[in-house]
A and B are shown apart, each in its own frame.
Chain A
Amino acid sequence: MIATLVALLASLLYLGLLFGIANYGDRSAARDHTLIGSPLIYTLSLAVYCSAWTFFGSVGLAAEAGVAFLPIYLGPTVVAVLFPILHGKILTIAKAYGITSIADFIAARYGKSSLLGGLVTLVALLGTIPYISLQLKAVANSLDTIFAASLAGQGGGPVPEPALIVALVLAVFSILFGTRHIDATEHHEGMVLAVAFESLVKLAAFLAVGLFVTYGMFDGIGDILGRLEAAGRGALLTMAATGLTYVDWVTYTLLAGLAFLALPRQFQVTVIENVDKDHLRTATWMFPLYLLAINLFVLPVAMAGVVLGRGGDTLMLELPLAAGSHTFALIAYIGGLSAATAMVIVATIAISTMISNDLVMPALLRIERLRLGQRHDLSKLVLAIRRAAIFLLLLAGYAFFRLVAERIELVSIGLISFAAIAQLAPLILLGLFWREAGLVGALLGLVSGFAVWFYTLILPALVFAGWLDPAILEEGLFGIALLRPQALFGLEGLTPVTHAVLWSLGVNTLLMVVGSLATRPSDLGRLQAILFVDVEQRQSSTRLWRGETRVAALQDLLVRFLGRERAVRIFAREALRRGQSLRAGDRADAELVQLAERQLARAIGATSARLMVASIVRGEVIGPDALLQILDETSQAIEYSQKLKQKSRELETLTDELRRANERLRQLDQLKDDFIATVSHELRTPLTSIRSFSEILLDNPGLPAEQQRQFVEIIARESQRLTRLIDDVLDLSKIESGRMEWEVDDHDLRRIIEDAVGTSQGLMRERGISVIAKFGVRRAPVRCDGDRITQVMLNLLSNAAKFVPAEGGRIHVELRGLGNEFLVRVEDNGPGVPPAMREAMFEKFRQIGGSMKDKPHGTGLGLAICREIVQHFDGRIWCEEAKLGGAAICFTLPVRETAPRTADRVRSV
């Protein structure tokens, strides 16, 4: 038989190992080498949730009530799925505002209320004491079981008060590794590493014992199931065996989820000890996986116990002992010890921080006689309070174990704790997502919920422990049946825990909502609500102090709580960041005041920090109205700035347009100069000829008649040329100024083209140019000015004739339908038009030659006139490459839509 001494020795060795790991973690952290930067370590540290309740209690419960243990793990699984949403927001807030605990978080949310912080601490404290007693009881029971086995083997001896010894050892551990630094937001790396290690140990131990029982003592799960059936206990695996209704089941799941959210030790590892927000994503699936894994063998072990006629919370130990395996019994014991110690260590550290920061320090700072505000170094006082709190907390846990818990099952104790802690959940959830949630509502909800919890769960527990008269349960307080603690206002048929949870959480939430809606929070409360609910949006806009103090006063304040070295370091770092020194006599700005408060909050909590800063800063907090006004002004400034940017962009666009227009004007001016030069030149050439030949004729009346006739013909030809040029200029001028009179009538475009080709046939034949006309339509009805379109055709034909080669010149004219338009195409086999010039050639005075010197014969107005005429009749004109190799000038005119109409004589507008 395994000796008690061996178990104790193993305990001490195990705790020694924990010390070693924690010490190694702290030393690494001191060398700036973190060992908790892995999401795996983070997730394992979250498994502090699985305490001795899981290790021993679940199996004991499963042996009696089958799957009734499961809701305690399903609730946290649902919450874990919400980690990135829920805890992601909590983490952002905690990091932004230096939150040190769940009490600090809630107090900060509701206007940094020291009263609420203290109440939350009290609730957490009273809710945690039974939980600690549960761990002590589990370890004590384990030792008792081993001791009983030892007696049977005549080895070892009795252990005096094993629970007390365990409590004292754990107190030493927690004090050593949980209260090394005053900064509560500094990570307890050694502690986290040790807790992660413990999570591995308890999981490995559970799986090892489970495998041993299932496959070592039996031939697998099938064998156990078969024997269970044979023993007539097959119904153990049904819902009926749980003794729970669906309402109970759902309530337990909800309770576990809410408790998981609000448990101080979970808040400690999930939020305060988190070093990387991204770890939450891994924990979202890995933590539920851990829960699943550690519960895999709960039912097989429990069923094996039932088959062997055993039960209770120590099945995990009893079964290996019954099989004579000391090794697996020791593994089970170490696993249970591991689960219990991890919970106790983290819980005591979390609660002790809350007690010092939210309960004791605010109270002490308010006692003026103590003059704590004037003491030079308060850091030692804060640490002393935390250490004393840890010690007293463990003693209280031991006392509860001795007075009450010894007579209650582990699971019942755990559920009592859960129900107390769950009272914090409405404050957290509503505080996170409902801006209207206020301090009065929070106080009303918490106090009432906790009172109902005490009345419906603790009172009956005291009755069962023999401390109170059982008549209270049967007849109700003062004999009023409606006040029976386990059937409040006649609500019966539920388990005591479901009954208590429904009443306490219901009253809590209701009064919280009513209290919040019925009262108006303080300015600070409203401000904090905005900062918490909209943390993602407003994280950076937190310069909220409007007060006055000096740099020296702030530094002195930090020295008192953080020590001179650290305070000086903080101010030096800030000066470095700002790039300017912070002189003692300078007025501290809002940013510096906030920095000091944040640093102080890391040591003594937000509530106390606010009290201390308020004691030296003369001023006020900017209320939500003022804040919103500032935000409005900022928004207006931003809007104005954006408008200015928009205007600036518009101005830039306008400038560009003006620049382009100016360039265009410059070009037009150049064209005008060119035009005047061209026109002058064109006018002067015929005029010079006319004048010269006229003078010759006048001065030489005796010239031969033949020569005189030749000179007169030249004069007549030059006059015609002059007239043509002037006609072109006048035509274009009329069209552009809108004074052109158009003779609009229904015409056949084919006929116009045939006439134009016929008219120019003589000229073409004279120059040896072949003209071919192709018509794709028999009739081409259009509505236009027939003379003007004829002018366009003649212009295009004469234009083509100018460019064809002297010999072998060819011109093709084509007319065809193109949808609701007619397309006319005049192409030649001349040199063609470069693509870059195809658009510009339709502008006035543009000629393909590019300069005035080598320009071809003509005024440079023909194509411009053609474009104006075609566009007037809703057509288009353009130039493209010809199949003959030269240029093809194309234009379209719309098909006449309606029946022929009478002629219009209109003036363009």
Chain B
Amino acid sequence: MDSRRTRMLLVLALLAGFAFGYPALAVVEALARCCLPAAVVVYMFLAWALVIAVAAALVLRRGERGR
């Protein structure tokens, strides 16, 4: 795996860490209080799916599949 993709995975891990924790949760929680009670649940699963999709895109880019 080339160094650029490695760096991007590292960045993704850091962003995922933020997305799954404080302060992202605090923002979503504020949203939940005002209008959408299940906002935390919806947000969590969406963020989770997004991280998976980006990770897949990074490791399965053209020319890398099936090695």
Contacts and interface: CB of A to CB of B under 8 A. Distances in A.
Interface of A: 66-67, 70-71, 74, 77-82, 84-85, 88, 225, 234-235, 237-239, 246-247, 249-250, 253, 278, 281-282, 284-285, 288-289, 292, 296, 299
A680 B22 CA distance: 102
Contacts of A289: 52
A238 B56 CA distance: 30
Interface string B9-51: 1101100110011110110010011000110110011001101
Nearest to A280: B59
- Size class of the B contact interface (CB-based, 8 Å): 35 or more
A226 to B, nearest CB: 12
Contact of A84 (B1, B17, B29, B45): B1
B1 A288 contact: no
Contacts of B41: 66-67, 237, 299
B9 A84 contact: yes
B55 A67 contact: no
Given A67-B40, A84-B1, A281-B64, A246 B55 contact: no
B37 A81 contact: no
A239 B32 contact: yes
B9 A253 contact: no
Chain B contact residues: helix, strand, loop or mixed: helix
Interface of B: 1, 6, 9-10, 12-13, 16-17, 20-23, 25-26, 29, 32-33, 37-38, 40-41, 44-45, 48-49, 51-53, 55-56, 58-60, 64, 67
A82 B10 contact: yes
Most A CB within 10 A of own CB, among B16, B60, B67: B16
Contacts, number: 97
Contacts of A299: 41
B12 A234 contact: no
Contacts of A234: 37
Q: Specify which of A66, A81, A84, A225 lies most central, judged by the most chain B CB atoms within 10 Å of its CB.
A: A81
Nearest to B17: A78
Contacts of A246: 21-23, 25-26
Contact of A288 (B23, B52, B58): B52
Contact of B44 (A67, A78, A278, A285): A67
B50 to A, nearest CB: 11
Given A77-B20, A81-B51, 12 more contacts: A74-B20, A74-B48, A77-B48, A77-B52, A238-B37, A249-B25, A250-B21, A253-B21, A278-B67, A284-B55, A288-B55, A296-B45
A296 B42 CA distance: 11
Nearest to A237: B38
A732 B23 CA distance: 89
A886 B55 CA distance: 73
Contacts of A81: 9, 12-13, 16, 51, 55
B37 A288 contact: no
Nearest to B16: A78
A82 B56 contact: no
Nearest to B67: A278
B29 A78 contact: no
